[in-house]
Amino acid sequence: MTGARRSAARGILPGLMLVAVATGIAWLAHLALPQVSPLTFGLLLGIVLGNTGLARDSFRPGLQVAARRLLRLGIVVLGLRLSLPQVADLGLPMLIVVVATVVIAFGGTLVLARAFGLSRDAGLLLATGFSICGASAVAAMNGVTRSKESDVVTAISLVTLFGSAAILMLPALQVPLGLDDHHFGLWTGASVHDVAQTVAAASVAGPVALSAAIVVKLTRVVLLAPMVAIAAVVERRRSTSGDGATDSARVARPALLPLFVAGFLLAVLVRSSGLLPPSVLGVAQTVETTLLTAAMVGLGTSVRLRTLIRTAGRSALVGLLSWILIAGVALIGVHLAG
């Protein structure tokens, strides 16, 4: 290792140590309160660190590594949750419902964001998070949009807030809406944002609902890859359009298929092969959650609460309407699919 590399490694070490401690605390908090995802606790701890002065400038390099590189590694490992045969078992009608729900929620959120005057990137991050898989999807989309940190954190905060609210709201609506456990699970999987939030909401109704919810939810997660790939293509075209882009901007164009998205797809194929034993998949799920929790800590340290409170009003309204939209569309779809 050269002197420059040793110096860089020493530079990121303090921040990574801080992230490791916060991630451990987040896991302990999750064990004490299983209804709340470690990712949520990680984000909250990061916000506390960033707003109390504990995340000093010397920690910044390591925090950025957590927020970017560890996040992408976590998304790659997330692919091991998905099995293509499980997706196929849903049947064509439910697959159509899942795809239609994602597309309508994504497009509808973009329209809402534009109507309320949000920036293009802010709307795109909200649309991805609410329509696919919460904080992981927001962060994955940011891998190709290079959005402002404030937009990223606002989107993650809102999908976390409304996804957590769904844990309480959806089970309370099961009986009034006349849903049996199976259909409640389908609705939960098609409408709740984060995987952990989906599990928490569906488990209230029992194992039948939980099984249906997980399969539908993970099918939505599969759509993360094409969504990010399409966004990458659009970003490349924008960077070479007649908007004054320079040659240096063209050099920085996003890849057509970001490496971490390719890794995610490869992980899906590995899981679908059936070669990995359950014990390995269990470890992989823990590793994935730990990596994403560490990333949330890193992202949370960039949040400035005063700025967030001052600027997030319109975003929160868009998030609320998007939450209602995806829940409504998913409910209609579940009834139509039978």
Which burial class, exposed, middle or buried, applies to 29 when counting CB atoms under 10 A from its CB (0-12, 13-18, 19+)? middle
**Calpha distance 109→172 (Å, rounded):** 25
Tell me the two tokens of residue 337.
């699919």
Q: What pLDDT is recorded for position 145?
A: 78
2 within domain boundaries: no
Q: What pLDDT is recorded for position 193?
A: 83
Domain count of the chain? 1
| Crossing angle of helices 134-145 and 120-128, rounded to 10° | 140
How does DSSP classify residue 253?
Answer: P
1 within domain boundaries: no
326 within domain boundaries: yes
Query: Which tens digit of pLDDT belongs to each residue from 97-122?
Result: 999 999 999 999 999 999 999 988 89
Instruction: Specify the 3-state DSSP secondary structure of 257.
Output: coil
Number of alpha carbons in the 13 Å side-chain half-sphere of residue 12: 16
Find the domain containing 22 and state its range.
Answer: 7-337
48 within domain boundaries: yes
**Calpha distance 208→220 (Å, rounded):** 19
Query: Which tens digit of pLDDT belongs to each residue from 177-193?
Result: 999 999 999 999 999 98
Report the candidate in 285, 104, 305 with the shortest Cα–Cα distance to residue 195.
Answer: 285
| Crossing angle of helices 195-203 and 134-145, rounded to 10° | 160
| Crossing angle of helices 149-173 and 313-337, rounded to 10° | 40
| Residue type, position 188, single letter | T
Greatest mean pLDDT among 105-109, 152-156, 196-200, 208-212: 105-109
150 within domain boundaries: yes
221 within domain boundaries: yes
Look over the chain and give the mean of its residue pLDDT values, rounded to a whole number: 84
Query: Which tens digit of pLDDT belongs to each residue from 253-295?
Result: 555 566 777 888 899 899 999 889 999 999 998 998 899 889 8
Q: What pLDDT is recorded for position 239?
A: 65
**Calpha distance 302→151 (Å, rounded):** 11
Q: Look at residue 246 and tell me whether its pLDDT is greater than 60.
A: no
Q: Look at residue 18 and tell me whether its pLDDT is greater than 90.
A: yes
Q: What pLDDT is recorded for position 254?
A: 53
**Calpha distance 73→143 (Å, rounded):** 12
Which burial class, exposed, middle or buried, applies to 201 when counting CB atoms under 10 A from its CB (0-12, 13-18, 19+)? buried
- How much of the chain, in percent, has pLDDT values that exceed 70? 89
Q: What pLDDT is recorded for position 265?
A: 84
Q: What per-residue string of b and e applies to 292-305 under the rule 16 or more CB within 10 Å gives b? A: bbbbbbbbbbbbee
333 within domain boundaries: yes
Residue 67: pLDDT band by 50, 70, 90 thresholds?
confident
Q: What pLDDT is recorded for position 247?
A: 43
How does DSSP classify residue 255?
Answer: P
Q: Give the mean model confidence (pLDDT) for residues 25-37.
A: 89
132 within domain boundaries: yes
Residue 330: pLDDT band by 50, 70, 90 thresholds?
very high
Greatest mean pLDDT among 60-74, 227-241, 301-315: 60-74
